[in-house]
Amino acid sequence: MIGAFLAQSPEYSFVIEDELGVCGYVLAALDAQVHNDKLEKQWVPSMQEKYPKPSSVDNLTPAEEMISSFHSHKGYNSDFLQKMYPSLVRLDMLPGRCHDAIARHALACAVAALKTNGSHGIYAEVHVGDRATVDRYAALGMKELTDVGVPEDLVIVARPV
Protein backbone atom coordinates (compact mmCIF):
# COMPACT_ATOMS: atom_id res chain seq x y z
CA MET A 1 0.00 0.00 0.00
CA ILE A 2 3.08 2.22 -0.14
CA GLY A 3 2.10 3.35 -3.62
CA ALA A 4 -1.18 4.78 -2.34
CA PHE A 5 0.66 7.06 0.08
CA LEU A 6 3.12 8.14 -2.60
CA ALA A 7 0.36 8.84 -5.11
CA GLN A 8 -1.99 10.62 -2.69
CA SER A 9 0.36 12.43 -0.29
CA PRO A 10 3.90 12.65 -1.63
CA GLU A 11 4.48 15.80 0.45
CA TYR A 12 4.35 13.63 3.58
CA SER A 13 6.66 10.88 2.28
CA PHE A 14 10.20 10.64 3.65
CA VAL A 15 12.86 8.14 2.60
CA ILE A 16 15.63 7.00 4.93
CA GLU A 17 18.96 6.13 3.31
CA ASP A 18 22.28 4.91 4.59
CA GLU A 19 25.57 4.26 2.80
CA LEU A 20 24.06 1.11 1.22
CA GLY A 21 20.92 2.81 -0.08
CA VAL A 22 17.28 2.99 0.99
CA CYS A 23 16.77 1.39 4.40
CA GLY A 24 13.40 2.77 5.48
CA TYR A 25 10.65 5.31 5.04
CA VAL A 26 7.97 7.29 6.82
CA LEU A 27 4.74 7.86 4.92
CA ALA A 28 1.78 9.88 6.12
CA ALA A 29 -1.63 11.13 5.08
CA LEU A 30 -2.90 14.39 6.58
CA ASP A 31 -6.52 13.22 6.50
CA ALA A 32 -6.65 9.47 7.07
CA GLN A 33 -10.35 9.27 6.22
CA VAL A 34 -9.83 10.84 2.79
CA HIS A 35 -6.77 8.63 2.24
CA ASN A 36 -8.65 5.47 3.21
CA ASP A 37 -11.68 6.38 1.08
CA LYS A 38 -9.44 6.85 -1.99
CA LEU A 39 -7.60 3.65 -1.13
CA GLU A 40 -10.87 1.68 -1.06
CA LYS A 41 -12.49 3.29 -4.09
CA GLN A 42 -9.49 3.79 -6.38
CA TRP A 43 -6.18 2.27 -5.32
CA VAL A 44 -7.20 -1.24 -4.20
CA PRO A 45 -9.56 -1.86 -7.16
CA SER A 46 -6.86 -0.76 -9.61
CA MET A 47 -4.35 -3.11 -7.96
CA GLN A 48 -6.89 -5.97 -8.03
CA GLU A 49 -7.46 -5.37 -11.74
CA LYS A 50 -3.77 -5.06 -12.52
CA TYR A 51 -2.75 -8.11 -10.46
CA PRO A 52 -5.24 -11.01 -10.59
CA LYS A 53 -5.65 -13.05 -7.41
CA PRO A 54 -3.29 -16.05 -7.24
CA SER A 55 -5.14 -19.29 -8.04
CA SER A 56 -3.69 -21.08 -5.01
CA VAL A 57 -3.26 -20.02 -1.40
CA ASP A 58 -0.50 -22.52 -0.67
CA ASN A 59 3.24 -21.90 -1.03
CA LEU A 60 2.88 -18.33 -2.25
CA THR A 61 5.96 -16.35 -3.21
CA PRO A 62 6.41 -12.99 -1.46
CA ALA A 63 5.09 -11.27 -4.59
CA GLU A 64 2.02 -13.52 -4.65
CA GLU A 65 1.43 -12.83 -0.94
CA MET A 66 1.44 -9.10 -1.70
CA ILE A 67 -0.93 -9.57 -4.63
CA SER A 68 -3.21 -11.72 -2.47
CA SER A 69 -3.32 -8.93 0.13
CA PHE A 70 -4.93 -6.61 -2.44
CA HIS A 71 -7.75 -9.12 -2.80
CA SER A 72 -8.31 -9.60 0.92
CA HIS A 73 -7.86 -5.95 1.95
CA LYS A 74 -10.35 -4.71 4.54
CA GLY A 75 -10.58 -0.99 5.04
CA TYR A 76 -10.82 0.58 8.46
CA ASN A 77 -12.23 3.98 9.31
CA SER A 78 -13.15 5.25 12.75
CA ASP A 79 -14.94 8.40 13.80
CA PHE A 80 -12.97 8.34 17.07
CA LEU A 81 -9.62 8.19 15.26
CA GLN A 82 -10.70 10.86 12.80
CA LYS A 83 -11.54 13.18 15.67
CA MET A 84 -8.59 12.48 17.98
CA TYR A 85 -5.85 11.36 15.56
CA PRO A 86 -6.79 12.47 12.05
CA SER A 87 -3.49 11.63 10.35
CA LEU A 88 -2.27 8.18 9.36
CA VAL A 89 1.44 7.32 9.43
CA ARG A 90 3.45 4.31 8.36
CA LEU A 91 7.06 3.72 9.34
CA ASP A 92 9.09 0.81 8.00
CA MET A 93 12.80 0.17 8.39
CA LEU A 94 15.16 -2.63 7.44
CA PRO A 95 16.28 -4.36 10.64
CA GLY A 96 19.87 -3.66 11.57
CA ARG A 97 20.24 -0.80 9.10
CA CYS A 98 18.08 2.00 10.49
CA HIS A 99 18.61 2.92 14.10
CA ASP A 100 15.86 4.28 16.35
CA ALA A 101 17.40 7.77 16.34
CA ILE A 102 17.13 7.94 12.56
CA ALA A 103 13.55 6.67 12.66
CA ARG A 104 12.74 9.25 15.34
CA HIS A 105 14.10 12.08 13.15
CA ALA A 106 12.23 10.85 10.07
CA LEU A 107 8.99 10.59 12.01
CA ALA A 108 9.62 14.08 13.43
CA CYS A 109 9.86 15.43 9.87
CA ALA A 110 6.53 13.85 8.94
CA VAL A 111 4.89 15.04 12.18
CA ALA A 112 6.18 18.60 11.64
CA ALA A 113 4.73 18.64 8.11
CA LEU A 114 1.40 17.25 9.34
CA LYS A 115 1.20 19.64 12.27
CA THR A 116 2.04 22.62 10.07
CA ASN A 117 -0.93 21.67 7.92
CA GLY A 118 -3.38 21.38 10.81
CA SER A 119 -3.09 17.87 12.21
CA HIS A 120 -3.34 17.37 15.95
CA GLY A 121 -2.76 13.61 16.14
CA ILE A 122 -1.31 10.62 14.33
CA TYR A 123 -2.06 6.92 14.33
CA ALA A 124 -0.68 3.80 12.68
CA GLU A 125 -2.23 0.45 11.87
CA VAL A 126 -0.17 -2.65 12.66
CA HIS A 127 -1.05 -6.28 12.05
CA VAL A 128 -1.79 -7.97 15.35
CA GLY A 129 1.06 -10.49 15.01
CA ASP A 130 3.73 -7.84 14.41
CA ARG A 131 4.71 -7.09 18.00
CA ALA A 132 8.13 -5.77 16.96
CA THR A 133 6.51 -2.96 14.96
CA VAL A 134 4.11 -2.11 17.81
CA ASP A 135 7.15 -1.92 20.11
CA ARG A 136 9.02 0.28 17.61
CA TYR A 137 6.10 2.72 17.51
CA ALA A 138 5.93 2.65 21.32
CA ALA A 139 9.62 3.59 21.46
CA LEU A 140 8.72 6.57 19.27
CA GLY A 141 6.10 7.81 21.74
CA MET A 142 2.98 6.17 20.36
CA LYS A 143 0.70 4.17 22.61
CA GLU A 144 -1.51 1.24 21.83
CA LEU A 145 -5.21 2.06 21.80
CA THR A 146 -7.62 -0.51 23.14
CA ASP A 147 -11.39 -0.62 23.02
CA VAL A 148 -11.68 1.59 19.94
CA GLY A 149 -13.54 -0.96 17.84
CA VAL A 150 -10.71 -2.05 15.55
CA PRO A 151 -10.84 -5.29 13.59
CA GLU A 152 -9.28 -8.13 15.57
CA ASP A 153 -6.38 -8.45 13.11
CA LEU A 154 -5.21 -4.84 13.74
CA VAL A 155 -3.48 -2.96 16.52
CA ILE A 156 -3.78 0.82 16.52
CA VAL A 157 -1.02 2.96 18.01
CA ALA A 158 -1.46 6.73 18.28
CA ARG A 159 -0.28 9.97 19.83
CA PRO A 160 -1.20 13.64 19.77
CA VAL A 161 1.13 16.02 17.91
pTM for the model stands at 0.86
- Per-residue pLDDT, 66: 80
Alpha carbons within 13 A on the beta-carbon side of 64: 9
Q: What are 73-108's pLDDT values in tens digits? A: 776 778 888 899 999 999 998 888 887 788 889 999
Pick the residue with more confidence: 159 or 59?
A: 159
Q: Please work out, in degrees rounded to the nearest 5, the angle formed at the alpha carbon of residue 86 by the alpha carbons of 83 and 90.
A: 145
Model confidence at 146, pLDDT cuts 50, 70, 90, reads confident
Contact 103, 33 (CB under 8 A): no
| Cα–Cα distance, 96 to 94 (Å, whole number) | 6
- Per-residue pLDDT, 75: 67
> Which residue ranges make up each domain of the chain?
2-160
Q: What are 99-141's pLDDT values in tens digits? A: 778 888 999 999 999 999 999 999 999 988 899 899 999 999 9
| Cα–Cα distance, 64 to 4 (Å, whole number) | 19
- Per-residue pLDDT, 60: 83
Q: What are 20-45's pLDDT values in tens digits? A: 999 999 999 999 999 989 988 888 88
**Computed over its alpha carbons, how large is the radius of gyration of the chain?**
16
- Per-residue pLDDT, 153: 81
Write down the CATH superfamily of domain 2-160. Answer: Gcn5-related N-acetyltransferase (GNAT) (3.40.630.30)
Pick the residue with more confidence: 71 or 74?
A: 71
Alpha carbons within 13 A on the beta-carbon side of 113: 20
